[in-house]
Amino acid sequence: MITLVCIAKWNPDGYQAMIENAIDNVDKIITVVDDWPDDGIMDYRHEQVEYVCRPLSSDFAAQRNFACSLVKEGWILHLDTDENLSKTLWNNLPSIVKSKCDIVMIPRRNIMYMPDGIVDDMVGWPDLQPKLHRPGVMWEHPVHEWPKMDGHEVVTLPADREMCMIHSKDFILQDRINAFFDTIPYHHEVCAKLRVQSNKASGTANEQPKM
């Protein structure tokens, strides 16, 4: 049994496309909607989807853990409203979940549609995502959330751009997401750590970051 869970706040067009692909490929779909959803995410409803309203409260890990608590058996597939699976990965999902592991790391193809018309689809590839797992796996961190891996057996899918998760957005949606992340203190902690790592890699660890 495969249950798709979606944490929904923005991007109704992407959400609709993802749900319509998922309907024939999973056994159950649960969408957890923020109490204050934006831009009409609730305008599209499908009779095969279970909708639950719960305040996000700037904590994505808590929202994921709540969604996971509604699934008692089988496998949980996490897809956000700007994510989907390639046709090949949808087709191979039934065989993948026969694995005896607890977490499957999925390569994610990040596609950014830039204002100058350029499409960048190599950002961070293969950007492995732990978004297929069994019930009982817990997530942590209010943003840039990640599951607790200790004690779990993990399998990683090959970095195949034909069999991967697809994460696509334009710069307008990205700016909107960044503005929301900026309201969450943990996001700034992560950015500060990344700046330190970048400075060390470039040999400028003692320089103050430019604002």
**Sequence spans of domains, the chain:** 2-182
**Helix residue spans in 97-170 (DSSP H):** none
pLDDT tens-digit series, residues 45-83: 888 899 999 999 999 999 999 999 999 999 999 999 999
pLDDT of 208 = 42
Strands (DSSP E) contained in 25-87 are 28-33, 49-53, 75-78, 83-85
Q: What is the pLDDT of residue 207?
A: 45
- The whole-number pLDDT of residue 115 equals 83
Stretch 186-192: mean pLDDT: 90
Q: Which of 138, 41, 61 is nearest to 53 (CA)?
A: 41
Taking the C-alpha atoms of residue 53 and residue 62, their distance in angstroms, rounded to an integer, is 14
Q: Which residues pair with 165 in a beta bridge?
A: 85, 108
Q: Is the pLDDT of residue 133 over 90?
A: yes
Q: Are strands 139-140 and 146-147 parallel, antiparallel or unpaired?
A: antiparallel
The answer to whether residues 121 and 109 touch, using CB atoms and an 8 Å cutoff, is yes
Q: Tens digit of pLDDT for each residue in 134-157? A: 999 999 999 999 999 999 999 999
The fourth-level CATH superfamily of domain 2-182 is Spore Coat Polysaccharide Biosynthesis Protein SpsA; Chain A (3.90.550.10)
Give the tens place of pLDDT for each residue, 158-176. 999 999 999 998 888 889 8
How high is the pLDDT of residue 209? 39
In DSSP notation, 39-51 reads TTGGG---TTEEE
Q: How many CB atoms lie within 10 A of CB 200?
A: 11
- State pLDDT tens for residues 8-22: 888 888 999 999 999
Instruction: Provide the mean pLDDT of the chain.
Output: 90
Is 110 in contact with 124 (CB distance < 8 Å)? yes
Q: How many of the other CB atoms lie within 10 Å of CB of 17?
A: 16
Confidence of residue 36 (pLDDT cuts 50, 70, 90): low
